[in-house]
Amino acid sequence: MNPTTPPTDFDPTHNPWQTKGSEEKYQNPWIRVRQDEVLNPKGRPGIYGVVSMKNKAIGIVPVDAEGNTWLVGQYRYTLNEYSWEIPMGGGPVELDVLESAQRELREETGLLAARWTRIARLHTSNSVTDEEGFVFLAEDLTQAEWEPEDTEDLRLWKLPLTQA
């Protein structure tokens, strides 16, 4: 086995799980929850809960010419604690992810960026959710008006990227 290259002795398109039935248990404007009756890869019956997100996750790492970035602080209800994090939010599935990133950066920091680079596409908590996430690097920054959403009580922290 060579750890620098992925294995090629399998078919990555083969799904070893079998879905025997599916029932939606709950939905709201942001998520849909379903429970599937399954046969697992060993052929044993069981259930699998899936949370489907109605938005894409968008994260932005803004970096100015001096190498500074911004973190957004807010109390996260789901965590029951205060969190310092990169500017992030949700973007409608049908909207271009870059447009969503530009909107989120302005809402959460008041920053506009002239240069954008997508640096990651990922699936967060992919054992229970189908959420697709994107992370962007935002550069050539200018300050505009800060426009947090009504549901957000945000604080901004500008610091060197190397300390974030």
Segments of the chain assigned E as strands:
18-27, 31-39, 45-53, 55-62, 68-76, 81-85, 88-92, 111-123, 132-143, 155-160
Residue 146, pLDDT score: 85
Residue 1, pLDDT score: 59
Give per-residue pLDDT as tens, 44-83.
999 999 999 999 999 999 999 999 999 999 999 999 999 9
Q: Which residues contact 61 (CB under 8 A, 6 or more apart)?
A: 69, 86, 119, 135, 136, 137, 138, 161
In this prediction, the residues of the chain whose per-residue pLDDT falls under 70 are: 1-2
Q: Do 53 and 75 touch, CB atoms closer than 8 A? A: no
Residue 9, pLDDT score: 85
Please report, for the chain, the start and end positions of each structural domain, with discontinuous segments joined by +.
Answer: 18-53, 55-121+131-163
Instruction: Please choose, from the candidates 52, 44, 41, the residue with its C-alpha nearest in 3D space to the C-alpha of residue 14.
Output: 41
CATH code of domain 55-121+131-163: 3.90.79.10
Residue 12, pLDDT score: 86
